[in-house]
Chains A and B, each alone.
Chain A
């Protein structure tokens, strides 16, 4: 199972500030709630066995 998603308010604000968001904006509450809701749904990737796989290089053509 994917590990439980945890993002404390402190870490959230720290990352937001590092990116350049205004952490005093009241909108941050809404963003925090949104992130808490959306990001856990992305953790299913943790359950995949990616041994030996390299990333798809995003900016190259699919031609093989």
Chain B
């Protein structure tokens, strides 16, 4: 198998070969580093590349496996971390030169659990500065480029995570999602990306954006890889009091390919929002495919869907301003201009308005919970448009010219507010050959159902097998 083919194997496929000792972790990491060398800086996926450390870790993994100490499905798998997951001894930029000197002296819980699982860290991945943006643009480290067309955005904020996995530089990557930052770039780059339930994965040792809406999760080329990541990382963490002490199932067990009996609701509000006609068509076909696989599909109404944007934005702006308050005061002019405006705007939202937003959140949570008594899952588009040109500040959809942030987050942000799990999977391509995403969301702590439906759809289609022309 040639080096590029090796890079495009899913983590699941690679793990089976590594376990059988048909491929060695060193071979895999060398192929990844070669792929990175050939694609960088064109994609600009990485902020910090850890070539030597990765090769050293691969040699250790190889010795362990040869000695019969196989750790599990991620042993020897090449991974990348968005550059806001702390890695002991490695710069954590959070996407800004302001933080260049910050070298954490401990691992985030996600980092630690991935290391424990035997995954090999290739490097720290580029992101929208401070994760406060949805396009993957970054003036200081340079914009991330979409592997399907390098003049287009990756989406963000986990843009480097998306470009690295979509191009075969990494087998799997970790991202974070406060308003859609896993699902948006995953959809625009043709990947699966899971935002788990709030409290399912520890946030300890991750640069925050808005504590109460931040989620960490996998970005991968297959749904199975998302499940493997969850198996290694999910679960209670005493260092993060918001994690749940609930048992973590073996998520792979739910990947049966069967969607029979699942009740899927399609909120009509999704299709009353600005939406590109090609995206709408592909998503409806995907929902139809799920029905053919045995799911029951019905139209539903999601109360407070529209208000959820204002509620989530209010909370996010205040929490982000609070978290970054010292930097805003001390380093204001050095902050990436669009992020600076949003960070400073939170100053002008009152404490009373923040609490009102949290009360409204309680109501939205209850409405969402009630809706998901009628159905098991919600389905719809992940992002209303395909990827667009880097630098665009507004996008034309039909006869409307729309703000990029509001447009890209319209389907993802509500699930950051209620904390429910949501995944995106590829569901087709635009006329320009750009990937489009289907979003499936479920009840809190029912990631297994979300993964089950996503896997059934994925296995019934071939979208996830397409590769970008790079």
Contact = CB atoms under 8 A, between A and B. Distances in A.
B27 interface: no
Contact of A50 (B212, B356, B365): B356
A57 B159 CA distance: 30
Residue of A21, A47, A57, A61 with highest tally of chain B CB at under 10 A: A61
Contacts of B445: 62-63
B195 interface: no
Given A44-B307, A59-B241, A61-B242, A15 B363 contact: no
A53 B360 CA distance: 8
Contact of A35 (B348, B355, B361): B348
Given A45-B356, A61-B199, A55 B361 contact: yes
A21 B244 CA distance: 38
Contacts of A58: 211-212, 315, 319, 358
B314 to A, nearest CB: 5
B350 to A, nearest CB: 9
B353 interface: yes
A27 B329 contact: no
A45 B358 CA distance: 10
B243 A31 contact: no
Contact of A7 (B325, B341, B348, B357): B348
Contacts of A53: 359-360, 362-363
Interface string A10-49: 0010011001111001010011001100110111111110
Residue of B328, B341, B445 with highest tally of chain A CB at under 10 A: B341
Contacts of B355: 55
B465 interface: no
Contact of A48 (B197, B349, B353, B360): B360
14 contacts: A16-B347, A19-B329, A19-B347, A25-B333, A31-B344, A41-B313, A45-B310, A45-B357, A45-B360, A53-B360, A54-B362, A62-B197, A62-B445, A63-B444
Interface of B: 197-199, 211-212, 241-246, 304, 306-307, 310-311, 313-315, 319, 325, 328-329, 332-333, 340-341, 344-345, 347-349, 353, 355-363, 365, 419, 444-445
Interface of A: 7, 12, 15-16, 19-22, 25, 27, 30-31, 34-35, 38-39, 41-48, 50, 53-63
